[in-house]
């Protein structure tokens, strides 16, 4: 695994500290600066549910010159801001990787408490006096994290200017003294790094593959959702705080009022979705955001939305479950709830983006689909996707259509107006309050075409057909990926079928498998309901073996696919609260083609 | 209860009803309530109030939850949203936030409001959402055929309390007053003229208005809130009641030996829409 300088850049940095050390802030400066320098960056932070209280924080950023799709399971560099938290992560540092730590004299700490005593002989150690430098430059130890980032930048030949741009941007609007002091802390760390005699070969030079970029923005999945909402012209948002979806509401709370949009923090998730449906009923583009426990509370309203045929969008970012589960750990175990969680036959559209750019697209398209098909739409995210950062390029022209509603014909007589008229495509023309003469009542009761309660057998059957058939054209909705195949074409040894955030790891594993000579392809399924059964079946037909890796115990997606296609698949399930490792998927692929891992690795 | 002293002829009555204009607010769907139900009086009152206020049907939305009372929107020729059990208020809040030009009238029963939906009332009240909440209180679950409700009296016998109800009933007026509702009143289905005036005033109020209507369930309550009992116990609020005085309203709301009808409390303060507009102005300035 030894590398030489001047190869393509692919370096993963992990910064580990205790809550309150500025770990996540340091990681943020690093990833923003590297994106500015033109590198591809994928970053994901792990933090505890506690605000302070000694919880462990890790900020990881993978900086590459080529496009990659996930973090690596091994890091090339570990910075310890807190040794007791960092020690368990020394093992994730690759051979000849670097470990940077506070240069405390080992004699002053208890045996085994210093990170340096846990390094393997192949780790390259750099002890730096972060605290002392910070105190000398800023008269406070609080800038240790900035000194550490500066040191890292100096040690790896990173360009200092981009860091200064990011730092001054971060402190814009705050006191200039503070910004200057942070800048000085960075410089002091940077110089120390430059002056260090280097044992490693890795360098992250001045510019990445694409040169200095201005149109690439470093963005989290949740931030991309927010951009999608704003570009789609969101009118109203109702939400209740819940990790990991809260930041969607926080960002919208800042942005929406500037565009006369209205946002309300409701008393619970039930009222959040109820108000979203109420607003959708008036013709507004309305949304809510929650996590699994919130979606559990929303299911009754989701059924009402399906029955009353009211547009509504819910962003659902999954976390470890069941119940309160693991609020700050990632999991993909709410698929069943999102797809099936309703009383009665109450299908809705469920979209699960696989990367940050997909979050933007799915967010905007969710509003179009909700309107076009008069239905609730769930955009299913997870903590790993909500909180991970990628350098993305957003379209310069707004890609989302303004109004997709099927409205009643202008010259048609209001007396003929039937809110739930049975039409060839199942979508009835929708009048909204304020339209003359088309008064009607929408209801969660089964109803006839006029909307009057009815439990006649033929009506329930016809309306059930209508409510399901009308969603099928969503599979052809323009401008959004419903499903997509990557890798080898035609018949392959192993096909990997995936959904959501895990698809990045799946792609990486597939690419590695192909390098080993395995005929392999991967397919992502973005629309989980209605499921694109045709393309999925065609993919399964091409694969000798099919592997479905996902972050849940019950193999929820694999069961969905098996149920819809009647084909068996191999399952790979992990519920550790962390993203799937590329290596584990690769091992499974090798096993499925009968390769031994050892031979293949040579 | 009113005594019929002179003969009423169907033709005359029909003509009178047609002339009144209130049929404009009635849909073609006939009410499904039991004959004699107090809710007829309320729906009659709402139609009259809307006629007299000159509300445009296309700009009016009736929102309800689930229960006998919640069937109300189907009988109205306005826009309507028959939503879920207990959830009428948040749905109505969403409607009003998205389009403040609409007149939003929320109706519900005592179970819908104070059992399953109890968590939403304080928030609609404190936010001062500019909607009218007409609560049809019959003290019993009617649509599920006679079970105890949060306003059922102690000792009330129902199918789920065969050995008599032991739960203390709520005092909705006290609750609404302490929640910060900006307009709180009580009316009685057996006093239709007063009821209509109260509905008019409630809709006219800018902000969250709560009208508690005592309304007998003739099918499942033969002992407690009957017309006979209510006719005896309902009295108007004293003439000198000061509706701008919250403390006086709370004292009046604690009178339990008889039921007082009229406006308990009325005040003006910014509505939810006012607040959201102000936030928007502030955001645009800092942008």
Average pLDDT over every residue of A247-267: 97
Average pLDDT of every residue of chain B: 95
In the stretch 1-30 of chain B, residues with CB closer than 8 A to chain A read 27, 29
Are A488 and A351 contained in the same domain? Answer: no
Q: Is residue A173 part of a domain?
A: yes
Question: How many angstroms separate the CA atoms of B18 and A42, rounded?
Answer: 71
Question: How many angstroms separate the CA atoms of B126 and B178, rounded?
Answer: 9
The single residue listed with the structure tokens 């003294």 is A177
Cβ contacts of residue A178 below 8 Å, gap of 6+?
Answer: A171
Is residue B212 within 8 A of residue B138, CB to CB? The reply is no
Is residue A523 within 8 A of residue A486, CB to CB? The reply is yes
Residue A197, burial from CB neighbour count under 10 angstroms (0-12, 13-18, 19+): exposed
Q: Is the pLDDT of residue A208 over 70?
A: no
* CATH assignment of the domain containing A508: 3.40.50.920
Q: Is residue A161 part of a domain?
A: yes
pTM, two decimals, is 0.93
How many contacts (CB atoms, under 8 Å) link A and B? 147
Q: What are phi and psi of A259, to 5 degrees?
A: -110, 25
Average pLDDT over every residue of A302-324: 98
Are A531 and A577 contained in the same domain? Answer: yes
Q: What is the DSSP letter of A405?
A: -
Question: How many angstroms separate the CA atoms of A300 and B83, rounded?
Answer: 10
Confidence of residue A598 (pLDDT cuts 50, 70, 90): very low
Is residue A225 within 8 A of residue A248, CB to CB? The reply is yes
What is the ipTM score, two decimals? 0.95
pLDDT above 90 covers a percentage of chain A that reads: 83
In the stretch 211-250 of chain A, residues with CB closer than 8 A to chain B read 235-236, 238
The pLDDT assigned to B286 comes to 85
Q: Is the pLDDT of residue A596 over 80?
A: no
Q: What is the DSSP letter of A179?
A: H
Are A204 and A260 contained in the same domain? Answer: no
Are A14 and A76 contained in the same domain? Answer: yes
Q: Which domain holds residue A279?
A: 219-393
The pLDDT assigned to A55 comes to 85
Q: Is residue A478 part of a domain?
A: no
Is A435 in CB contact (< 8 Å) with chain B? yes
Question: How many angstroms separate the CA atoms of A83 and B64, rounded?
Answer: 59
pLDDT in tens, A9-53: 899 999 999 988 999 999 999 999 998 888 999 999 888 776 666
The pLDDT assigned to A599 comes to 42
Query: Which of A178, A208, A238 marks a domain boundary?
Result: A208
Cβ contacts of residue A536 below 8 Å, gap of 6+?
Answer: A483, A497, A523, A525, A561, A564, A565
Query: Which of A393, A421, A448 marks a domain boundary?
Result: A393
The pLDDT assigned to A7 comes to 57
The pLDDT assigned to A52 comes to 64
> What does the CA dihedral B238, B243, B246, B250 come to, rounded to 10 degrees?
30
Bridge partners (DSSP) listed for residue B184: B210, B265
SS3 A526: coil
Instruction: Average the pLDDT over each of A117-121, A297-301, A379-383, B238-242 and give the range with the smallest value.
Output: A117-121
- In terms of CA atoms, which chain B residue is nearest residue A305? B83
Query: Which residues of chain A lie closer than 8 angstroms to B87, CB-CB?
Result: 270-271, 274, 301
Query: Which of A375, A393, A411 marks a domain boundary?
Result: A393
Tokens of A331: 């999991």
Question: How many angstroms separate the CA atoms of A361 and A96, rounded?
Answer: 40
- Please report the sign of the dihedral spanned by the C-alpha atoms of residue A395, residue A400, residue A401, residue A402: negative
Q: Is residue A148 part of a domain?
A: yes
Q: Is the pLDDT of residue A595 over 70?
A: no
The pLDDT assigned to A456 comes to 97
The pLDDT assigned to B231 comes to 96
Are A184 and A46 contained in the same domain? Answer: yes
Peptide bond into A210 cis (omega under 30): no
The pLDDT assigned to B26 comes to 87
Are A190 and A233 contained in the same domain? Answer: no
Confidence of residue A244 (pLDDT cuts 50, 70, 90): very high
Are A167 and A304 contained in the same domain? Answer: no
Q: How far apart are the first and last CA of chain A?
A: 11
The pLDDT assigned to A601 comes to 42
Is A257 in CB contact (< 8 Å) with chain B? yes
- In terms of CA atoms, which chain B residue is nearest residue A431? B79
Q: For the range A398-401, what are the long-range contacts, defined as Cβ-Cβ under 8 Å and sequence gap of 24 or more?
A: A398/A231, A399/A231, A399/A361, A399/A364, A399/A479, A400/A228, A400/A231, A400/A232, A400/A233, A400/A364, A400/A365, A400/A367, A400/A368, A401/A368
Q: What is the DSSP string of A435-450?
A: -TT---EEESS-B-TT
Average pLDDT over every residue of A497-512: 97
Is B97 in CB contact (< 8 Å) with chain A? yes
> Domains (ranges, CATH) in chain B?
37-286 (3.40.50.970)
* CATH assignment of the domain containing A352: 3.40.50.970
Is B70 in CB contact (< 8 Å) with chain A? no
Q: What are phi and psi of B173, to 5 degrees?
A: -65, -45
The pLDDT assigned to B20 comes to 80
- Please report the sign of the dihedral spanned by the C-alpha atoms of residue A114, residue A115, residue A120, residue A121: negative
Is A277 in CB contact (< 8 Å) with chain B? yes
The beta strand positions in A292-450, using DSSP E, are: 312-318, 349-351, 376-382, 389-393, 441-443
Contact: A267, B80; criterion CB under 8 Å:
no
The pLDDT assigned to A597 comes to 43
Helix (H) or strand (E) holding A559: helix A556-565
Contact: B95, A279; criterion CB under 8 Å:
yes
The structural domain count of chain A equals 3
pLDDT in tens, B48-69: 999 999 999 999 999 999 999 9
Are A201 and A339 contained in the same domain? Answer: no
Q: Is residue A349 part of a domain?
A: yes
* CATH assignment of the domain containing A109: 3.40.920.10
Confidence of residue A4 (pLDDT cuts 50, 70, 90): very low
Average pLDDT over every residue of B223-235: 96
Q: Is residue A520 part of a domain?
A: yes
Q: Is the pLDDT of residue A602 over 50?
A: no
Query: Which residues of chain B lie closer than 8 angstroms to A445, CB-CB?
Result: 82
The pLDDT assigned to B12 comes to 87
């Amino acid at each position: 695994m030894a590398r030489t300088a001047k190869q393509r850049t692919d370096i993963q940095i992990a910064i580990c500290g205790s809550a309150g050390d500025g770990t996540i802030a340091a990681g943020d400066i690093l990833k923003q600066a590297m994106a500015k320098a033109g590198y591809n960056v994928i970053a994901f932070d792990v933090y505890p549910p506690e605000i302070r209280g000694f919880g462990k924080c890790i900020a990881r950023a993978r900086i590459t010159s080529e496009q990659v799709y996930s973090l690596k399971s091994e890091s090339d560099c570990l910075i310890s801001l807190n040794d007791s938290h960092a020690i368990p992560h020394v093992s994730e540092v690759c051979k000849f990787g670097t470990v940077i730590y506070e240069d405390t004299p080992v004699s002053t700490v208890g045996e085994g408490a210093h990170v340096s005593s846990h390094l393997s002989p192949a780790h390259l150690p750099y002890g730096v006096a972060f605290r002392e430098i910070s105190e000398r430059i800023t008269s406070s130890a609080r800038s240790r994290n900035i000194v550490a980032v500066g040191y890292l930048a100096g040690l790896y030949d990173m360009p200092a200017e981009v860091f200064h741009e990011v730092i001054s941007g971060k402190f814009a609007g705050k006191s200039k003294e503070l910004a200057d002091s942070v800048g000085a802390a960075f410089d002091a760390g940077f110089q120390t790094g430059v002056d260090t005699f280097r044992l490693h070969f890795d360098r992250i030079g001045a510019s990445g593959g694409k040169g200095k970029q201005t149109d690439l923005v470093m963005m989290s999945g949740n931030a991309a959702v927010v951009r999608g909402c704003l570009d789609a012209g969101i009118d109203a948002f109702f939400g209740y705080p819940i990790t990991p979806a809260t930041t969607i509401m926080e960002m919208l709370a800042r942005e929406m009022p500037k565009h006369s949009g209205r946002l309300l923090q409701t008393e619970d998730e039930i009222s959040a979705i109820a108000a979203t449906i109420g607003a959708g009923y008036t013709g507004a583009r309305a949304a809510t955001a929650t996590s699994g426990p919130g979606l559990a509370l929303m299911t009754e309203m989701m059924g009402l939305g399906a029955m009353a045929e009211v547009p509504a969008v819910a962003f659902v970012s999954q976390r470890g479950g069941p119940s309160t589960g693991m609020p700050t750990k990632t999991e993909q175990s709410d698929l069943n709830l999102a797809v099936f969680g309703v009383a009665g036959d109450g299908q809705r559209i469920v979209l699960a983006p696989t990367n940050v750019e997909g979050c933007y697209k799915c967010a905007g398209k969710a509003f179009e689909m909700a309107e076009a098909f008069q239905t609730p739409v769930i955009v299913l995210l997870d903590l790993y996707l909500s909180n991970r950062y990628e350098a993305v390029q957003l379209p310069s022209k707004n890609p989302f259509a303004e109004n997709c509603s099927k409205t009643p014909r202008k010259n048609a007589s209001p007396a003929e107006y039937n809110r739930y008229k049975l039409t060839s495509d199942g979508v009835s023309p929708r009048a909204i309050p304020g339209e003359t003469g088309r008064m009607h009542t929408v209801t969660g009761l089964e109803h006839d075409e006029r909307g009057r309660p009815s439990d006649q057998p033929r009506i329930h059957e016809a309306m059930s057909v209508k409510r399901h058939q009308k969603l099928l054209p969503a599979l052809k909705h323009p401008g959004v990926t419903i499903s997509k195949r990557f890798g080898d074409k035609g018949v392959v040894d192993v096909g990997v079928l995936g959904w959501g955030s895990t698809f990045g790891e799946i792609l990486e594993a597939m690419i590695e498998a192909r390098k080993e000579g395995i005929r392999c392809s991967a397919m992502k399924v973005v629309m989980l309901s209605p499921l694109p059964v045709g393309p999925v079946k065609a993919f399964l037909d091409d694969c000798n073996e099919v592997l479905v890796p996902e972050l849940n115990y019950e193999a929820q997606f694999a069961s969905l696919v098996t149920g819809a296609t009647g084909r068996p698949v191999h399952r790979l399930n992990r519920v550790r609260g962390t993203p799937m490792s590329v290596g584990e998927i690769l091992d499974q692929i090798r096993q499925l083609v009968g390769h031994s891992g050892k031979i293949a690795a040579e | 209860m009113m005594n019929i002293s002179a003969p009423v002829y169907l033709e005359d009555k029909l003509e009178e009803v047609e002339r009144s204009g209130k049929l404009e607010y009635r849909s073609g769907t006939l009410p499904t309530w039991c004959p004699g139900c107090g809710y007829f009086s309320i729906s009659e009152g709402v139609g009259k109030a809307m006629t007299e206020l000159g509300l445009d049907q296309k700009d009016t939305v009736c929102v309800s939850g689930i229960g006998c009372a919640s069937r109300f929107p189907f009988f109205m020729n306005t826009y309507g949203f028959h939503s879920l059990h207990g959830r009428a208020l948040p749905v109505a809040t969403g409607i009003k936030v998205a389009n403040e030009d609409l007149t939003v009238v929320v109706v519900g029963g005592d179970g819908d409001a104070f059992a399953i939906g109890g968590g939403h009332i304080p928030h609609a009240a404190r936010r001062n959402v500019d909607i009218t909440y007409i609560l049809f209180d019959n003290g019993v679950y009617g649509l599920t055929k006679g079970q105890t409700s949060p306003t059922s009296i102690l000792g009330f016998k129902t199918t789920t309390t065969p050995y008599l109800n032991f739960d203390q009933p709520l005092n909705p007026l006290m609750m609404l007053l302490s929640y910060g509702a900006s307009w709180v009143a009580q009316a009685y289905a057996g006093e239709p003229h007063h009821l209509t005036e109260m509905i008019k005033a409630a809709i006219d109020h800018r902000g969250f208005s709560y009208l508690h209507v005592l309304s007998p369930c003739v099918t499942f309550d033969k002992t407690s809130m009957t017309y006979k009992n209510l006719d005896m116990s309902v009295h108007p609020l004293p003439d000198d009641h000061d509706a701008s005085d919250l403390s006086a309203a709370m004292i009046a709301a604690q009178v339990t030996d008889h039921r007082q009808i009229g406006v308990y409390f009325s005040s003006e303060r910014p509505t939810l829409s006012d607040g959201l507009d102000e936030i928007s102005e502030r955001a645009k300035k800092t942008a």
